[in-house]
Structure formats: C-alpha cells, structure tokens
Amino acid sequence: MSHAIISLIVLAIMAFIFVTDKLPLALTSMVGAAVLVLAGVIPVENLYSAFSGSTIVLLAAMMVIGSALFHTGIAEKMSDVIVKLTGTTENGILLATVVVATILSSICSGVAVVAMLLPIVIGISMKANVSVSRQLVPLAFAASFGCNLTLVGAASNVVVNGQLADLGATPLTFLELGKVGLPISIFGIIYFLTIGKKFMVQGDKSDRAYLMEFTGQSEEKKEKEFSSAKAGLCLVILAVVLVAMAWNNAKFPMHLVATVGALIMILTGCIKEQEAYKAIDWSTIFIVGGMSGVSKAMDVSGAAKMISNGAVALMGDSPSKLVVLFVIFILTVFLTNIMMNTSTALLVTPLFIPIAIHLGINPTAIAVAICVAASSPFLTPVGSGTNTLVVRPGNLGFMDFFKPGLGMTIVVTIISMIFIPIFWPL
C-alpha cells in the first residue's frame, strides 16, 4: 500500500474520531501522527519536530501574554469599559468581539489577535453572565477572515504573493486583497449576528474551574489589588509586541517577538513564573504538534497532491473558467482545514497557478482564491491556531466548529465566487 493511501486512511479514521468525539482532540492528533511514523510515512524525527517549531513557540508565548492581561487587572478593566458600551446582551458583546478581531487580524497574526482578545472576551462574558463558549468560535473565525483585508494579514497571503511573482505574474498590492476581504468581513459579521447564532453551541460548555484558574482567580481568593504601574507596563509590552508583529521583519519573526514579550512580562512581574506555566494549555500544544506531523505526511506522501490532481482531472481538458476557480477554492478550503494555511498555500500555489496560465485563466484571480480559501479554516478545531486556542477555554468539540463553520464556509465561497471574477476578470 502506498504512503499516500496510508495517509488518507489515517486521516479518514482521525476525522471519524473527531466527529464522534470518542477521544480528546490532542490524543487523536498525537496518535494519528505516531501511526504515520510507525507506518514509515514520515521519519521518526518528524513526530516531535513541531514542538521545537515556531508555531508552538508562538502559541505558548501568546498564551502567557494573554494571561498577563488578567493577572495585571487589565482584562477586567477593559471588560468593564466594553460592557458599558455594548451592554450585557449577547449580540452586543458578539458584535464588539467580531469587529475588533476582524480589524486587528488585518495587520497582526490571527493567533496573536485571539490570544490577546481571549482573556478580554472571557472576562466580558463572565461579567455579563452570557455563554463563554458561544463567544469564542466567532472570535476565532473573525481572526481568520479578517486576514483577507490586507496582504500581511496572514503568512499564507505573503507565501502566495511571493510565488505569484516567482511564476512571472503580477503580484498583489498591500490593500488589493481587501476588495474581496472587505465584503467577506461584512457578511461574516452579519452571519454571526443572524443565521450563524443558530448553529453555535447551545448554553455554556466552558469549564468554570478552568476559567477561574486561567483568569488568575478562584472562588476563595479575594479580589486582587489593581496596580496601575504594572497594568501600564503590561499594555506597553503588548503594544510593542503587536507593532513588531505587524512590522513583520525577517530578523524579528513573530515567535521571537512573542517569546521576548512573554519573558519581559515575567521579569517585570506582570505575571509570575508559576502563573506563566499554568497559562500554557498543553492540550492545544499537543493538538498543533500532532496535526503538524499529519500535515507533513499529507505533503511528503503525495496524498495532498493526489487529491489536487484528481480534482483537476475531473474538470476535463477545457473546463469553464468559473468551474476551475470554484474547484481550486473548495479544494484549498478542504486542505487548509487539515494542513493549516501556510502549508496549504505552499502546496497548491505552484500547482494551480501554472494550470491557470495553461488554461488561459487570470493567475491573479486564482492566487486571490487561494489566499481567501487558505484563511478559511472554519470546519475543524485543528485547521488553525486561532481555533485550537479557544478549544480548552470554551470546552469545545469538533461539531461546535463544524456546524457554524459550514455556514461560514458557504458564505465565504459565495462572496468569493461573486467578487473575485468582478475585480480580477478570469
């Protein structure tokens, strides 16, 4: 049996376990990666290689920074201010959450945005006595679709644009992606305020004990004395971290910036060392670590390319240009929910852009479709760090993402199929 087939079988079994919720997400991810190693699909060193990678470091560091917002009292103060503006209604809080996440993710890493807003959203929800679980999926999704507003909103956008230039096509400008990203963001916000609400988790599944620990509180503890000096210092550190991330300098990658920021938080007493250790959610780390191995297997085994080639073959020799755009979009969405956005972009761009050029299709239109689709990890909790970050705080399962995510995917697909051909004629 070929390695590609083995990879697809393992992936199918993992998907079944995810959907049925038979095992924890982290355990399923790690077991799946281990099986692929034992089957010889990926070398043993790849099983744990992700744990020393930049994604894991970025996630862990941003968890510490996010938790520091609670321990300095900033999250509570901001929660008070926002609740006064939005009121205590679920719609008001949801609107504020989604709008802020969308705007910030246009210039910052979606993971950084979720990590920063997570403690604030939890604080607002608990203060207003609304479901924490119902607020976290919109937060995660907004941090993904907001990436389409600018070229630097996601690493996958930069990857696609670089390969577009390498292949001899005209690269995208900084705000060009916003032509389709803006309507997606607008309709995404409307979706969560209307139809999307019906598909979100009912009630509140969040673990109260975990949230009390995460927020640096407990039922027995008295309210901490607010230190304006530490709070101000924490805000300065956070601002510098976000600006440095938005700057996106190669000498100071996001994971390095986040790590330095987290260390300064500890050294200055914004968060204690033991509190920083508790802030790191290891189930999230293991989900990302395991899925990185699965993603690697899909790539090196040729399974992802097999899927791509099969989809292209089904279109025939002279397919409709709109059909080609649609198939590429849907295929990229499927892969990004398994492999994460940057890996997906690296795989499909050099495959689909030459095909588009051969068929006489505008390569820029295909590149835009790949950018948008790669930033649409709405179907699974493992498709993006933005999703995995909210799994534990919201106590969310696979279907808690899939149900609202399917509707969000349909919305993004329809908007893309309308606006991409208008602004980048095929």
* 402/405 Cα distance (integer angstroms): 5
Top-confidence residue, 403 or 353: 403
pLDDT band at 278, cuts 50/70/90? confident
Q: Does position 225 have pLDDT exceeding 70, yes or no?
A: no
**Helix, coil or strand: residue 301:** coil
Write down the pTM of the prediction: 0.72
Task: Determine the pLDDT at residue 214.
Answer: 66
207: amino acid identity, one letter: D
Contact 251, 261 (CB under 8 A): no
For 177, the token pair is: 């992606």
Q: What angle do CA 184, 109, 396 make, to 5 degrees?
A: 75
Residues 320-371 have pLDDT tens digits of: 889 889 988 998 898 888 777 777 777 777 778 877 877 788 888 999 999 9
Q: Does position 139 have pLDDT exceeding 80, yes or no?
A: yes
For 1, the token pair is: 């049996």
pLDDT band at 289, cuts 50/70/90? confident
- Helical spans, DSSP H, in 168-317: 178-193, 195-199, 208-214, 228-247, 254-267, 273-279, 282-300, 303-314
Q: Does position 182 have pLDDT exceeding 60, yes or no?
A: yes
Domain boundaries, the chain: 50-154+176-284
For 63, the token pair is: 């968890």
Q: Does position 222 have pLDDT exceeding 50, yes or no?
A: no
Task: Determine the pLDDT at residue 220.
Answer: 45
Task: Determine the pLDDT at residue 58.
Answer: 75
For 347, the token pair is: 């795989």
Q: Does position 209 have pLDDT exceeding 90, yes or no?
A: no
* 234/343 Cα distance (integer angstroms): 33
